[in-house]
Amino acid sequence: MLFDLGDTLVDGRDYAGWCSLAGRFSLEFDPDALTHSYLEVEREMDAAPPLLDRERRLVEFWRRTLSRAAEKEVDVEVARQFCSAARALDPPVRLFSDTRRCLEELAGDHRLLGVVSNSTSEARVRALLERVGILDYFSRVVSSGSEGVEKPDPEIFRRAVERLRVRPEEALFVGNLAHTDAKAAAAAGLHSVWLNRYGFGYGIDPPEITSLLEVPLWVARIEQGE
């Protein structure tokens, strides 16, 4: 079992804090407007080929998100300064309510668990997992910042399964992005599902779930050849 980290196992979104921060740049909007813009841009950029490097992609993500929330065009330099200021914040990081129960059930079934994350470094991912009290569940942590390759490149998934000493077809990956996570993992030969907490669970390309509590059921279905 392999999981994405942010917005899959842990919730690090701080819409109220980001709104307050945006005020420093003369950008005014409420958390609801930012939430809508954030999710809309996330879906759009997930579906597009990742033509920019990670840092420039992040800046472009926030440029679009801030522009839509504020209903006026935000230039690249403002978005870059916003990103730098956001990194200096200490946002609340919380487990989703279904995370621990899912991990406990999988660990109780003696599943090997790992994390594959587009992130700064393996050390930073481990520190975050330790902070929220779930590091001990995971046998392997694979971070794009330490590997020099990131999702949706299939290589990062191949490295993860190799380190768990399983074949790709013996692994299931769960992530919150349809293309960067679920479809990319499938391209690497893994089983995969898209965790869409805002959806209805009816999607089949990629397969869609709305809660981590569905993951053990998916494992059973795969093992039964469904």
Distance CA 190, CA 4 (A): 14
Cα–Cα distances in angstroms (integers) from residue 15 to residues 23, 36, 85, 109, 153, in the given order: 13, 10, 14, 37, 29
Residue span of the structural domain in which 97 resides: 2-9+93-223
Q: Judge whether 11 and 93 are in contact, CB under 8 Å.
A: yes
Q: Judge whether 185 and 157 are in contact, CB under 8 Å.
A: yes
Q: Are residues 56 and 157 in the same domain?
A: no
Q: Judge whether 173 and 116 are in contact, CB under 8 Å.
A: yes
The reported pLDDT for the residue numbered 174 is: 98
pLDDT tens digits, one per residue of 170-187: 999 999 999 999 999 999
Q: What rounded mean pLDDT belongs to the chain?
A: 95
The reported pLDDT for the residue numbered 225 is: 79
pLDDT-based confidence at residue 88 (cuts at 50, 70, 90): confident
pLDDT-based confidence at residue 141 (cuts at 50, 70, 90): very high
Q: Are residues 55 and 107 in the same domain?
A: no
Q: Last residue of a domain, which of 42, 61, 88?
A: 88
Q: Are residues 110 and 204 in the same domain?
A: yes
The reported pLDDT for the residue numbered 59 is: 96
* CATH number of the domain that residue 152 is part of: 3.40.50.1000
Q: Last residue of a domain, which of 62, 88, 114?
A: 88
Q: How many domains does the chain have?
A: 2
Q: Are residues 23 and 111 in the same domain?
A: no
Q: Last residue of a domain, which of 88, 110, 129?
A: 88
Does 210 score more than 80 pLDDT? Answer: yes
pLDDT tens digits, one per residue of 37-87: 999 999 999 999 887 788 899 999 999 999 999 999 999 999 999 999 998
* CATH number of the domain that residue 68 is part of: 1.10.150
Q: Are residues 133 and 206 in the same domain?
A: yes
